[in-house]
Amino acid sequence: MAGIIGKKVRMTQIFDDNGTALPVTIISAGPCYVTQIKTQGKDGYDAVQLGYGEIKEKHVKLPQKGHSKKAEVKPMKYYREFTPFTDREIKLGDELKSNIFSEGEIVEVTGKSKGKGFQGVMKRHGFSGANMTHGQSDRQRAPGSIGQSSNPSRVFKGTKMGGRMGSDRISLPTVRIVKIDEEKNFIFVKGPVPGGDGSLVELKKKN
């Protein structure tokens, strides 16, 4: 799906024409620049590569400089590929901003959820915990039995246990754009989106 790269700013609320408060997430969408156009004949598939975010010159490697020079744009910090745009003609070096979307449009928002680090079974899987009595004193948040005794004498794959939680790529397929501020290049989408403030998000058009 065609789209754009942006950053989550924060959550807030706005009021619609009826005075109803709507929870929204502010996304700073772009500006993104077309750094490469891939075609079926040359690359084996059709795609548009977009670059987003400034990067210091000392952090740019030589191949990346050459890649950006072809599109006549500055090297970017982030690169993502999208399917070709069907509602507009795109060429190398074009700048894309929030005005490629419209208010009321349904989009797909993709981001990386907040990382929680190593978590136990109660937080990670919603276990209720053990009894607070019956002779035990230190097993309230333990998972309990994780396997059998003599047969098969192992822990089955997929057993719910403690481990790393968060930092997962999550897509919300039906998010409505409530408002667009073209002057500040902000897109207001209804409800929350994955990730913390300042995290990278992708907005994709629903073809």
101-136 pLDDT, tens per residue? 888 899 999 999 999 999 999 999 999 988 888 788
Tell me the sheet residues that pair with 22.
14
The parts of the chain modelled with pLDDT lower than 50 are none
* pLDDT of the residue at 119: 95
> What is the pLDDT at residue 137?
80
How confident is the model at residue 40, as a pLDDT? 87
Q: In whole angstroms, give the CA distance from residue 82 to residue 37.
A: 10
Tallying the residues shown for the chain, one arrives at 207
In the chain, the domains with their CATH numbers are 1-30+100-126+161-207 (2.40.30.10), 31-96 (3.30.160.810)
Strands 200-205 and 106-112: antiparallel
Instruction: Evaluate whether 185 touches 103 at the Cβ level (below 8 Å).
Output: no
For residues 198 and 77, what is the distance between their CA atoms, to the nearest angstrom? Answer: 14
Q: What pLDDT, in 10s, does the model give residues 7-17?
A: 999 999 999 88
Cβ contacts of 32 within 8 Å, gap of 6 or more = 4, 5, 50, 51, 52, 95, 96, 97
Closest alpha carbon to 77 in 98, 60, 95 = 60
Residue 103 CA from chain centroid, whole number? 21
Class of residue 144 by CB neighbours under 10 A (exposed 0-12, middle 13-18, buried 19+):
exposed
Output the six-digit token pair for 102.
């419209």
Three-state SS string over the chain comes to CCEEEEEEEEEEEEECCCCCEEEEEEEEECCEEEEEEECHHHHCCCEEEEEECCCCHHHCCHHHHHHHHHHCCCCCCEEEEECCCCCCCCCCCCEECHHHCCCCCEEEEEEECCCCEEECHHHHHCCCCCCCCCCCCCCCCCCCCCCCCCCCCCCCCCCCCCEEECCCEEEEEEEEEEEEECCCCEEEEECCCCCCCCCEEEEEECC
Tell me, what's the pLDDT at 207?
Answer: 65
List the structure tokens of 197: 């403030």
